[in-house]
Each structure stands twice: as structure tokens, then as C-alpha cells.
Amino acid sequence: SQSYKLVVAGGGTAGLSVSNCFSRILGKGNVALIEPKNVNFRYFSIIMFQTRFALQVHYYQPLWTFVGGGIKDVKESERPIRNFIPPHCEWIQNSVKEFLPDENAVKLSDNSTINYEYLVVAIGIEMDLDRIKGLKEALNTEGVCSNYMVDTVTKTWKCIQNFKEGNAIFTFPNTPIKCAGAPQKIMYLADDYFRKTNKRDKANIIYNSSLGVIFGAPKYAQSLNEIVKKRNITVNYKHNLIEIKPQTKEAIFEKLETGEKVPFKYDMIHVTPPQKPPAVLKPLADSAGFVNVDKETLQHTKYSNIFSLGDCSNLPTSKTAAAVAAESGVLVENLNAFMNKSPMKRKYTGYTSCPLITSYNTCILAEFDYNLQPLETFPIDQGKERTSMYYMTKDAIPFIYWNLLTRCLYYGVD
């Protein structure tokens, strides 16, 4: 079997950033990145000849809110992953089937094993569509969409455009999810679009959330509560989507406090699917299934040569790419110190950020820590809807992501 000083499992936002950093630190032959093929077929034609070629891509998922809102093309969210894998890093185009932490090894889907001295786990979070009865089939029917998957995100914009009248429902599931703001951002875009196209009078916009508050951090929750009131959006808390019946265009919600099941008619419904940690994490996981790490150092609580970050970790913060930026800075410094038998000095504060898009030209840029206290970058009140923050999120942050974060030239705020 092959052996590396450092193996990074998962080449998403977190894995790309960390493998870029360590390839620079450790040099050629020492770092391997395990990331399965993510094949996307492209057609390329020259006059009469058309060839199909496979392109392996990385997705910048935060852009999917803009894709669902008709502001950006889905192609702008993808780039060839090859461009982000450093030349000094070995790309193993496979997926981890089993973590064997007692043997310092991982088993791949072809049953080969890779040994490591140090391991970073960054395999993200999975969609759990089966938890909602009928959802998979319903996503192929009229009026049902989701920004959370690349295959369904372009349909969101069609649903918003095709909507004529009736109930437009937006959901938040009863599980941990990535980007806790995304379920409502698309709702504000729909509301704005309906107003611009004179359909708002005929629309009931309903936000059915499993949570008991509109947003975790109180400062931004206060602003959002004012916005839903001002925009005449109905909010039902502790309402969890359990079934979709496309034949009758009904969505069944369970009231979490009483167990009562209530049907809602929909003309369009944007579903945020329930999500779950990949089952393969089990040997490294806490009782909820996420990799069990120290919340300040990012080191595994049992296996000291394993670190984790991003959506698959149990860091008790909101799962975002912005959090990954801060986490990767802490992880790289601490793991490097640990490799050199020095004390680990960096402490992660829980920094995370969520650009809450509230219309086609405004955004509340929420930034906060483990205690849900604001940790804002700009010397202005970021709790207010601002046009500057909208353009920052639409144009500047994607630039930072593609050019700096994924290449390990930016560590965010912490």
C-alpha cells in the first residue's frame, strides 16, 4: 500500500485549502488528497463534429442561491478541480470506504489502503432525501425545487418565474444543515421577484421551519424578524416537512411540539433537504455522527494524529465556507506545530458568516462566533440591509474563494 506523511480525505472547500497549504509546507510526495471523480459531461463542437468529454469539477456552493434566484448561471459555480490541486500533491481519484484509525490507514472503494502519519478529514455533509416521503420523485414534478443540489438548483429559478398565484412555501428541516441562512435567502429573492412582476398580491409566502427562531444569532434574527413582518411573510416555527404529494400538490408538515400532521397546499415549494454526516465517519464520530474534534484546536479527541474541519466536523458552529476559511487557518498552524512537536497555540473562536441576501440588491452580512456574538469585519452596522454587502457577496467573495481560499492564500477571520 502507498504511504504519505499527510492524507487529506475530501477535496471540497476545506480539503482543497488544507492540501494546498501542506503541499507548500511539506513538499513533493508527502501529501495525498483523496477526492472521488465528480464527472460532469461537456459538449465541445467544431463545425460538424461534436465530442463529449468528461470534466471533473469543484462547485462553489454559495453561488447556488444566486443561481436559484436567476442572478447567475450554474456554470459560474463550477471550475475544473484540477486547477485547484497543487502540483506537489498526489490526487487519489477515489473515495474513502473505511477509516482505520488504529492502523493509521484508510481503505478506498477499490479496497486498496493508503497509510498516513497524519490525517485531515474533510468529506462534508450529505443530503438525506429519503427522510421526506416522496421528495425524490416530487423533485421531478412541477413546482418542487431545491437550491441544495446542482441537479435541482436551476429548477428553482424556473419555479419562481412560473409561479402565478397561491402558496409559495420555503422549508427548513429538522437536522443540522450547511448554510443555515440559505433556506430563507431564496425566499426573499422570490418575494422581491413577485413584487417586481406584480404577482405578490396573489402570493402567500410561507416559511415553515423546524427551528423555533428565524436565525441563531440574535442580532441578525432581530433584523430578519422585522423583514418578514414588513414583507408580509407567514412564519410557522416547529413545522417539519415529512412528505410531499405531487398528485394533489400537498406538503405534509409535522408540528414538532404536538406531533400533529398538517397538510399545506403548494403552488411552489423550495425544499431544504434534511442532511446527515456520511456513515463512513463512524469510527471517528461522536454520537451524532460528526468527526469528534476539540472545538479550539480541531484535533481529534481520541486520535491525536487526526484533525478535521468543515461540514463533517462536530465543531459547534454554523457550517459554512466562511467558517472553513477560519478553521483552515487554525488547523494548518496547529497541525504543523503538532508535526514539529511544538505546542498548538491557535484557538478557533467559532467564526462563521452568512450573507443573508434579502432582495435583488440588499444583504445582511451576518458574522458571529461560538457564542452567537457578532464578529464583524466592517466598521458599519452589518445588522442592516445594505447594497454594499450584496455586491460584496455576489462579486468580491466568489473572487476571494476561487483565487485565495481554495489555494490557501486566505484564512478568513478568526
Active site residues: 179, 354
Query: Which range binds ligand FAD by CB under 6 A, 13-21, 158-166, 336-344, 405-413?
Result: 13-21
Instruction: Calculate the alpha carbon distances from 112 to 10, 90, 108 in Å.
Output: 17, 16, 5
* By the rule CB under 6 A, 281 interacts with ligand FAD: no
Q: Please state the closest distance from residue 273 (CB atom) to ligand FAD, in A.
A: 10
Applying CB under 6 A, among 15, 173, 246, 273 the residue interacting with ligand FAD is: 15
Cβ proximity to ligand FAD: between 62 and 173 the closer is 62
- Yes or no: say if 4 and 90 are a contact pair by the CB < 8 Å rule: yes
Q: Is 286 exposed, middle or buried (0-12, 13-18, 19+ CB in 10 A)?
A: middle
**Residue (228 or 397) nearer to ligand FAD, CB:** 397
Q: How many chain residues interact with ligand FAD (CB under 6 A)?
A: 38
Examine residue 95 and tell whether it contacts ligand FAD (CB under 6 A): yes
Alpha carbons within 13 angstroms on the beta-carbon side of residue 66 total: 22
What amino acid occupies position 143? G
Question: Applying CB under 6 A, does 273 fall inside the site for ligand FAD?
Answer: no
Per CB under 6 A, the list member of 11, 134, 350, 412 interacting with ligand FAD is 11
At closest approach, how far in Å is the CB of 67 from ligand FAD?
9
Alpha-carbon gap, residue 321 to 365, rounded angstroms: 14
- Choose which of 176, 246, 273, 278 interacts with ligand FAD (CB under 6 A): 278
DSSP tag of 200: G
Neighbours of 154 (CB within 10 A): 16
Decide if residue 64 touches ligand FAD (CB under 6 A).
yes
CB count within 10 Å of CB 285 equals 21
In the complex with ligand FAD, the residue whose CB is nearer, 95 or 249, is 95
Q: Counting contacts by CB under 6 A, is residue 280 touching ligand FAD?
A: yes
A 10 A CB-CB count for 41 gives 8
Q: Which of 20, 147, 156, 297 binds ligand FAD (CB under 6 A)?
A: 147
Nearer to ligand FAD, 249 or 319 (CB): 319
Q: Check residue 350 for interaction with ligand FAD (CB under 6 A).
A: no
Least distance in angstroms from the C-beta of 106 to ligand FAD: 8
The stretch among 56-64, 289-297, 336-344, 363-371 that binds ligand FAD (CB under 6 A) is 56-64
At closest approach, how far in Å is the CB of 347 from ligand FAD? 20
254 binds ligand FAD (CB under 6 A): no
Beta carbons within 10 angstroms of residue 48's beta carbon: 5
Kindly give the interhelix angle for 153-162 and 182-196, rounded to the nearest 10 degrees. Answer: 30
Bridge-partner residues for 276, per DSSP?
Answer: 126
DSSP per residue, 157-177 = HHHHHH--SEEEEEEE-SS--
Could you say whether residue 156 binds ligand FAD (CB under 6 A)?
no
Nearer to ligand FAD, 249 or 270 (CB): 270
CB of 36 or CB of 216, closer to ligand FAD: 36
Q: Contacting ligand FAD (CB under 6 A), which of 319, 346, 386, 394?
A: 319
Residue of the chain from 6, 18, 122, 144 that contacts ligand FAD (CB under 6 A): 122
Contact between 324 and ligand FAD per CB under 6 A: yes
Whole-number Cα distances in Å, 315 to 54, 101, 299, 326, 396 = 35, 20, 11, 12, 27
DSSP run (H or E) holding 223: helix 218-230
183 in contact with ligand FAD (CB under 6 A): no
Give the other-Cβ count within 10 Å of 369's Cβ.
18
Per CB under 6 A, does 34 bind ligand FAD? Answer: yes
Q: Give the CA-trace dihedral at 306, 406, 73, 396, to 10 degrees.
A: 130
323/411 Cα distance (integer angstroms) = 10
Q: Do the Cβ atoms of 367 and 382 come closer than 8 Å?
A: yes
179 belongs to the binding site for ligand FAD (CB under 6 A): yes
Q: How far apart are the first and last CA of the chain?
A: 38
Which chain residues interact with ligand FAD by CB under 6 A?
9-15, 34-36, 38, 61-62, 64-65, 95-96, 122-124, 147-148, 178-179, 182, 278, 280, 310-312, 319-322, 324, 353-355
